[in-house]
Structure formats: structure tokens, C-alpha cells
Copies of this chain bind each other. A is one copy, B any other.
Amino acid sequence: MHKARMLTPGPTPLPEEVRLTAARELIHHRKEEFKHIFARVRAGLKYLFGTKEEVLILTSSGTGAMVAAVENIFSPGEKVLVVEGGKFGQRFREIALNWGLEVVSLPVKWGRAVEISQIEEKFKEHPEIKGILVQASETSTGVMHPVQEIASFCQKKGILCVVDGISAVGISPCPMDEWGIDCLLTGSQKGLMLPPGLAFVALSGRAWEKVKSNCKRPFYFDLIKEKKKVVQNQTAYTPAISLILSLEASLKYFTEKGLKEIYLKQRALTEMVRAGVELIGLELLVKEHYTWGLTSVLLPKAVSASKVLKYMKDNFGYTLAGGQDQLKDRIIRIGHMGYVDYVDLLGVLFALKESYVACGGFSGARNYLEESLKVYFKTLSAGGC
């Protein structure tokens, strides 16, 4: 009876142009027509990442780009600092350990952002650290870590700053060159509004120097091999051609609207959802330093998040995400990245409140839809980003 609506923190709804492009007949990835498209895609990706460096395209999940970053930049035996404030921080640790790195873990309470003083402290204890691995946006909680400060700390200390921008790139500002980030990576199914299957990674000049000095590299995710190919508008291995065609359509949206406007919309959506959740009487998991692509709602212990999610799906047609690991059954994550606008969120706020109440929660909220809409438009008018 209701339209199916998927508002998860990846994959996201797809713009029509992206979907229709995916249905086109393929073109061959070693021929001229493809190379012309690839050249436009390269330029668009540089704009998106805020870098003069090449953004390499990998055919893999976002995790593949995390692996590519760690295994190209660091050599087994080297020490790295991993900011661990969620599932993807943990993943960086696992990847680093699997590659034989020595990991200094910096645990952060899930839902909180790391503080730069914590990083300084760890570095004092372990001055031999070669780099810091951190999420710009920790998708499992919705926290935004202070990447600009961390990057500038890394610059000062002469170490490398590797940033997982999977739920940040194209969603909130993360200009690679301006902030001095040494490695920025993302996946296709978040801000880029594409199906999953592509991952992207760019390295600074400093990071490239380090990569070249390492003697060991992965075969499939060999970034030096990819860099040689990218300048010929090619990839080392047969890429996910249909996704690259769709990528061109998606990047056009960024270059035509401009990043500033898109970030502003993302921030306004975030403020709208946060206002709505609080008006309903629910708690926000992340009190400050929240990301702009998803919002985590912390339910009272008496109400099961899984039940609320099922109720929302069955009665209102919404697919949202739950929590992972220690937040399993405790939170609901509302994705509002990419091809999502304020009307999509009106429905989700209503469905959330109704389902929460139906599953045993209490809310006396009235007028919360209109109020949260006002927050949306007020944020837009204030401008900024």
C-alpha cells in the first residue's frame, strides 16, 4: 500500500539518471569512448575530493579502499594509531593487524568524537607512530571526528593522516588538499548516490613518496599500478563499467549544483531530523560532532529498536538501519545522505513516532513535523558551509 522507501546510511536512493544509465548497453573499457567518459569522471572526482591528485577508482566495496590505503601506505612492522569509536574504526584496526602493522588503539566511547588531546597523548607515548587512521564520519554511530585538526597535527609531526571518508565525501566538507589529508577514500553507495561496487582513494604527494618506498604491496589493490593506468583513463583490471557510466551522471550533479549547496542541504536535513527526534521525545545518540548523512536515535532500554524498525517497515514502508555490535537493538539509524530531501524525512519522522509509541514508547509530541520543517528551512536560509 505504501511506497518502499529506503533511508539507510548506504545504500541510498538513486537518482533516475543514475538508474537509467545503469541500464544502458555496455561500452568496452579499453576503447576511446570509455576513455573520454573516464577523463570527465577523473575531473569530477578531483572536484569532489578537493584535490589536485588523482582519485583512483577501484572495483570493490568501500572496505576495499580501506585495505588499499593501509596496505599501500604502510609496511608490515610499522606502527599506526587507530581511532576506534565504532565498527569502522574497528575495521581499520583489523585491516592494519592483518597486514602485520603494530596498532596503537585509541578507543573512543561510541557516539563521541575523538579529542585532539587524546591523540597528542597517544603520540607522546608512541612517537614512532607512522600514521593515524580515522573515520571522517563513523557510519556505525553518526559521529564526525575532527579530521581537519587531526590532519594538521599529522602535518606538524610529519606523519600520515589516512581518512575513511565513506559517509563523509560529498556529504560534509572534507577538502583533502586544503586540510592536508594524506589519504582520503570513499565508496560509491553513500554521498555519491550510486549502487555499491566502486571505491575511491586519493593520496597526497607525501603519501605517494611513502608508497614508493615500501617494498610490499597488495596485488589487486596495487595503487602504483592503478596510478599508471589512471593517467591513460584506464584501470588496471576490468572495472565495473556500468557503475562508472552512472558515476558520470552522479558527478554531474555535484559539479552543476556545487559542493557548497549540497553540503548546506545535508546540514539542513540533519538539523531537521535532530529537531524532529527531540520533539518526539527521543534521545539523540550523538550530542555534538554529529555527521551530516545519518542520525542515530537512541531508544530507551525498554523499547526494542528491532521491533520499532519492523513496525516502521510493515506499517509505513520505511527501511532504516539498526545498530551494530554494542549498539545492536539500541539505536535506529536514519540515513539522509545523497538523493534524499525534506519530504522524504517528513514521512520518516511520522513513522518513527507512531512506531515508537506502538512498540511501547511514550510521546506526547504535537506539531513536531511542522516545527522540524521550519528548522530545515531556517538552516537553509542561514547559509554557510
- Does A272 touch B at the CB level, under 8 Å? no
Contact A25 B10 (CB under 8 A): no
Contact B94 A238 (CB under 8 A): no
Interface size grouping (class) on chain A: 35 or more
Residues of B within 8 A of A25 (CB): 4, 6, 13-14, 19
Contact A61 B61 (CB under 8 A): no
Q: Which of A41-67 contact B (CB under 8 A)?
A: 59-64, 67
- Does A366 touch B at the CB level, under 8 Å? no
- Does A289 touch B at the CB level, under 8 Å? no
Listed by A's residue number, 29 A-B pairs whose Cβ atoms lie within 8 Å are A4-B27, A6-B27, A6-B28, A8-B28, A11-B28, A11-B241, A12-B26, A20-B23, A22-B23, A23-B23, A31-B319, A59-B60, A59-B61, A59-B64, A59-B196, A60-B64, A60-B220, A61-B238, A62-B237, A62-B238, A63-B220, A67-B220, A95-B219, A98-B218, A187-B238, A195-B243, A197-B197, A220-B220, A240-B240
Contact of A19 among B6, B23, B63, B219 (CB under 8 A): B23
Give the distance to chain B from A271, nearest Cβ to Cβ, in Å.
25
Binding site for B on A (CB under 8 A): 4, 6, 8, 10-14, 19-20, 22-31, 59-64, 67, 94-95, 98-99, 187, 189, 195-197, 217-221, 237-243, 319, 321
Give the distance to chain B from A35, nearest Cβ to Cβ, in Å.
13
Residues of B within 8 A of A197 (CB): 59, 197, 239-243
Contact B26 A239 (CB under 8 A): no
Give the distance to chain B from A167, nearest Cβ to Cβ, in Å.
12
* For the complex of A and B, 4 pairs with smallest distance between CB atoms: A197-B240, A23-B23, A61-B237, A195-B242
